[in-house]
Chain A
Amino acid sequence: MRPLFSPLMKIDLAVVGQGAVSPAGVGVVALRGVDPVPTEIAYVGQPDKTWPVLRVNLKNPAFVRWQKEPRLRRASPISFFMVEAAEQALANVSARDRADTGLIVSFCAGCLAYSRRFFEGIVSEGQRSASPALFPETVFNSPVSHVAGVLGLNGAAYALVGDETAWIAGLKTASVWLRQGRVKQVLVLGAEEFDPVALDAYRSAHWLSRQNPAHNFLPSEGAAGLLVRQSQAGDSLIIAKAQDGLVYHSKKEASVVAERLLRDSDPKIPFYPNAQRNWFRSLERKFGEGLIAIPGSDQRYLGEAFTASSAWRTLRALQRLTTMTPRIFVPVWGLNHQVGSLELEMRT
């Protein structure tokens, strides 16, 4: 049996701001609203075939104010998702405090739309047609820079990359910065944008199947974030512990780490089922049997958007904390590297 390493690590982050952009709408409240309606999008490699996708409505008035920002003139949708979610989380933060705010953004695919357009331009129209307007926006760090620039976040800024668990790495990194006193508070975001070429990728991985509608994996996009600082007396919403680094190299190994993650969790703490329509669903159901599940976690499906999904689900789990349920265990299922978890807490 492989060792179970990196136990739940105490990070004690007080949540002092939240923001979200999802296919369900703009704002944290929308995360528990009605299910968004998918749009049929054609595969790049097979334009006569489509698959339902959950998209963010960029015509939402919330985005209009950002369209006037010079920094965002050429930016791709992911920058708009991020800056809007970030501004919601920072709503009560003064300009002076923003200058002492760190920024950490976790991505999986990052600036996918412009990357595809840029390289497709080279392939289709020739090397001399490569677009200097698109290339800078393909860099993982570009949307991070836009958010910091537009919102005046003068502290340190990191772009992290990984699967769904990169969201955990972001929260752990925030904890390090805060304990070191590098910054007063940290805005941690997860963000992804959809591009049709992703459909070709997901199909090649056999993630898209119309055989069982209950398991339909719907690609999605958006962003969400938490403004966190070191917890103090009186703080109520806390990201108490984090665990990552449970690596797998095959589906067989994924089963082993999933079992150990859930088996080693504290059975007295309710868990928030998290694998809605991805391939971890059956493992979570199998190994989560016997644990107390928070009911209704399956009721809203916002689609699969990697780090953004992790962020949405963390925000939704935070909404389920009550005095009767003061602690919740949230497994985070990374779809192609590792699994991890968060422990959320309401303190009174």
Chain B
Amino acid sequence: MNRRIVVTGLGAVTPLGVDLPMSWKALLAGRDADAPLELFDTAGYRCHRAASAMLPPLPNVSGKKMSRLSRASRLAIPAARAALAQAGLLDTTGKSTCPLIPLSVSTTAGGMAFGETFLRNVLARNRAHLLSQVSRYLPHEQVLNLQQTIGFEGPSVILANACASGANAIGHAADLISVGDADYVLTGGFEALTELVFGGFDCLQATSVDRCRPFDLHRSGLLLGEAAAFLVLESEEHALGRGAKPICELTGYGHTTDFFHLTQPQPEGKALLEAMQRATTQARINPAQVGYINAHGTATPVNDGTEAQAYLSFLGESLGQTRISSTKAAIGHTLGAAGAIEALFAIQALMTRRLPPQINLQTPIPEIAHALVGAEETCSHLRHVMSVNLGFGGSNAALVFSTYEN
């Protein structure tokens, strides 16, 4: 990085809680949010479960306005507000005190539930309210909702690199600061459960009808989830100049593209390995210095084996010293939000020295069994953590966060 980039604010809404502290506490306790899905009828699908989030209240937003917001916006707005609040960039009315803060955000489906309603009505030849449905499904509508509700505007980038999008959005925000195009950026990702996506993963038989068991020999698929997570990234001089206290430093970002197959990674995980190597090179550390990796770990048969191979290659003999877990067993796979919420969990581990356990394990993959985080593990010497994501289409991304030392 050309400039040091610090994290000054974090905010999240997850299936484990309406804010980050609540979610983190539940995560450390080994809880999961796997439950019957009630947002839409799942009768004809194989899988009927998901990790749904409870929508937090939105202070200072009128009922009329609230009724117009997509579920995705209902998740994103409180998470973004929490990040800005921790960074000291939110006033008492819930409005941003930095009206021109750039935004780098990720999603895969935006407000797709509105798009689904639109199509159902078009097919049923019901022309009432079509405009309000179709105009709210596009991802830039959620960006508009964020900007209008929180009171900021300015350049925005929406990344849709499938399940790696969240890490890419954070990495892009860091790039903007690094080259001097921005001093601070609100960044993160959001995703709401929708039927189109649920039906898609279900027909691919990628969802599990059993528990979600990342890195288990008998894993049978993923648990879909929903979440929003945001960070405020700043250049060090900007943060210190305004008296903000850095939480940690973003020291590395690597991203690569894997051509192997549209929906499957190259079996040895070469592109993921390269993304991790680029991130640690940028962070000027060697892989053994990474104390904890929040893994992608979807619990699909193909992904986790590949990912394990990549960790073996990346960490070599230090595998085991570096602790690994996938938090998707607890909150589900939140797709466009995954890279962001998992980065936040990695940062929480860095700051608290407590590691999220790998839950639902019965028979761990032997190659990395000794590296998977057990219950109530702590790591007193943690200085660098990594968050890793892979996505449809071959997107691979890795972020390194390090303790901040002035």
Residues of A within 8 A of B (CB): 2-3, 5-6, 9, 44-46, 71, 103, 107-110, 115-116, 118-120, 122-124, 126-128, 130-132, 135-136, 138-142, 144-146, 148-149, 153-163, 166, 169, 172-173, 176-177, 179-180, 197, 200-201, 204-205, 244-247, 249, 336-338
Q: Which of A44, A109, A144, A177 lies in contact with B393, CB distance below 8 A?
A: A144
* Selected contact of B127 from candidates A45, A128, A154, A179, CB within 8 Å: A45
A311 to B169, CA, bound (A): 23
Contacts of A130 in B (CB 8 A): 45, 199-200, 202-203
Q: Is the CB of A139 within 8 A of B100?
A: no
Query: How many Å from the CB of A208 to the closest CB on chain B?
Result: 12
Which A residues are CB-close (under 8 A) to B160?
Answer: 107, 110, 140-141, 159-161
Q: How far is the CB of A196 from chain B (nearest CB, A)?
A: 10
Contact A141 B155 (CB under 8 A): no
Query: Given the complex, which residues of A lie within 8 Å of B284, measured CB to CB?
Result: none
Which residues on the A side are within 8 Å of B268 (C-beta)? none
In the assembled complex, 7 residue pairs joining A and B whose CB atoms fall closer than 8 Å, in A order, are: A119-B199, A120-B119, A123-B123, A149-B259, A158-B172, A159-B393, A337-B143
CB distance from A138 to the nearest CB of B (A): 7
Say yes or no: A119 contacts B119, CB within 8 Å: yes
**Contact indicator A204/B127 (Cβ below 8 Å):** yes
Find out whether the CB atom of B100 lies under 8 angstroms from the CB atom of A6: yes
Instruction: Let me know if B130 and A138 touch, CB within 8 A.
Output: no
Kindly list chain A residues whose C-beta atoms are within 8 Å of the C-beta of B143.
Answer: 162, 337
Residues of B within 8 A of A126 (CB): 44
Query: Total A-B residue pairs with C-beta atoms closer than 8 Å?
Result: 203
B393 and A142 within 8 A (CB): yes
- Cβ–Cβ < 8 Å partners of A200 in chain B: 118, 122, 130, 134
B332 CB–A CB distance under 8 Å = no
Kindly report which residue of chain B lies nearest to residue A122, judged by CB atoms: B199
Contact partners of B134 in chain A: CB under 8 A: 200-201, 204-205
List of B residues within 8 angstroms of A176 by Cβ: 172, 175-176, 179, 181
Q: Are A141 and B138 in contact (CB under 8 A)?
A: no
**In the complex, are the beta carbons of A135 and B119 less than 8 A apart?**
no
How far, in angstroms, from A148 to B160 measured CA to CA in the complex?
16
> How many Å lie between the Cα of A140 and that of B131 in the bound state?
23
A154/B203 in contact, CB under 8 A: no
Which A residues are CB-close (under 8 A) to B39? Answer: none
Binds A, one of B146-154, B364-372, B379-387: B146-154
Assembled-state Cα–Cα distance A135/B263 (Å): 10
A44–B130 Cα distance when bound, in Å, is 13
Q: What is the chain A residue whose CB lies nearest that of B275? A: A156
Contact A160 B181 (CB under 8 A): no
**Please, which residues of chain A bring their CB within 8 A of the CB of B161?**
141, 144, 157-159
A205 to chain B, nearest CB (A): 6
Q: Which 3 A-B pairs have the closest CB atoms?
A: A127-B44, A145-B393, A135-B200
Instruction: Say whether A135 contacts B181, CB under 8 Å.
Output: no
17 additional contacts (CB under 8 A) given A135-B203, A245-B102: A115-B196, A119-B196, A120-B123, A122-B199, A127-B45, A136-B204, A136-B262, A136-B392, A145-B259, A155-B257, A156-B255, A158-B161, A161-B110, A173-B157, A197-B119, A204-B130, A336-B140
Residues from chain B with Cβ under 8 Å of A338 in the complex: 156
Minimum CB–CB distance from B141 to chain A (whole Å) comes to 8
Instruction: Give residues of chain B (144-199) contacting chain A, Cβ–Cβ below 8 Å.
Output: 144, 147-148, 153-162, 168, 172, 175-176, 178-179, 181, 195-196, 199
B140 touches A204 (CB 8 A): no
Min CB gap A22→B, angstroms: 23
Q: Which residues of A contact B305 (CB under 8 A)?
A: none
Task: Report whether B203 and A132 are in contact in the complex, using a CB–CB cutoff of 8 Å.
Answer: yes
A136 near B99 with CB under 8 A, answer no
Interface mask (B117-139 → A, CB under 8 Å = 1, otherwise 0): 01111110101001100110011
Q: Is the CB of A180 within 8 A of B157?
A: no
Q: Tell yes or no: B300 within 8 A of A by CB.
A: no
Q: Is the pair A156, B256 in contact by a Cβ cutoff of 8 Å?
A: yes
Q: Is the CB of B203 within 8 A of A123?
A: no
Contact call A156/B200, Cβ cutoff below 8 A: no
- Known A132-B203, A156-B255; contact A162-B158, beta-carbon cutoff 8 A: yes
Q: Is the CB of A127 within 8 A of B259?
A: no
B17 at the A interface (CB under 8 A): no
Is B395 close to A, CB under 8 A? yes
Q: Chain B residues with Cβ under 8 A from A119's Cβ?
A: 116, 119, 195-196, 199
Q: Report A276 CB to chain B, min CB distance, Å.
A: 22
Give B128 Cβ to nearest chain A Cβ, in Å. Answer: 10
**A131: B residues at CB distance < 8 A:** 203
Residues B99 and A108 in contact, CB atoms below 8 Å apart: no
A123: chain B residues at CB < 8 Å are: 119-120, 123
Contacts of B125 in A (CB 8 A): 45-46
Interface status of B225 (Cβ within 8 A of chain A): no
Select B108's contact among A124, A140, A158, beta carbons within 8 Å. Answer: A140
CB distance from A155 to the nearest CB of B (A): 8
Distance A155 CA – B155 CA, assembled complex (angstroms): 25
Chain B 228-258: CB-based contact to A (< 8 A → 1; otherwise 0): 0000000000000000000000000001110
C-alpha gap A161/B72 in the complex (Å) = 16
Contact between B262 and A336, CB atoms less than 8 A apart: no
Could you tell me the distance in whole angstroms from the C-beta of A121 to the nearest C-beta in chain B? 9
Point out which of A124, A157, A204, A245 has the most chain B C-beta atoms below 10 A from its C-beta: A204
From B168, B178, B181, B196, A138 is in contact (CB under 8 Å) with: B196
**List of B residues within 8 angstroms of A9 by Cβ:** 181
A6:B195 contact, CB within 8 angstroms: no
Residue of A nearest to B42 (CB): A127
Closest B residue to A5 using CB positions: B100
Q: Assess whether B356 is interfacial by the CB under 8 Å rule.
A: no
In the complex formed, the residue of A with least CB distance to B263 is A136
A115 nearest CB neighbor, chain B only: B196
Residues of B within 8 A of A124 (CB): 123
Find the residue from B42, B140, B256 having the highest chain A CB count within 10 A: B140
Cα–Cα distance between A71 and B195 once the two chains are bound (Å): 27
Q: Are A197 and B122 in contact (CB under 8 A)?
A: yes
Say whether B394 faces chain A, with CB atoms less than 8 Å apart.
yes
Distance (Å) between the CB of B89 and the closest chain A CB? 16
Q: How far is the CB of B154 from chain A (nearest CB, A)?
A: 4
The answer to whether A160 touches B154 (Cβ under 8 A) is: no
Q: Which residue of A lies closest to B133 (CB)?
A: A204
A161 pairs with B178, CB closer than 8 A: no
A103 to B395, CA, bound (A): 12
Residues of chain B within 8 A (CB-CB) of A156 are: 255-257
Q: Chain A contacts of B255 at CB under 8 A?
A: 156
Contact of A139 with B119 in the complex, beta carbons under 8 Å: no
Evaluate contact between B200 and A141: CB separation under 8 angstroms. no
**CB pair B157 A169 closer than 8 Å:** yes
Please measure, in the bound complex, the distance between the C-alpha atom of A336 and the C-alpha atom of B162, giving whole angstroms: 23
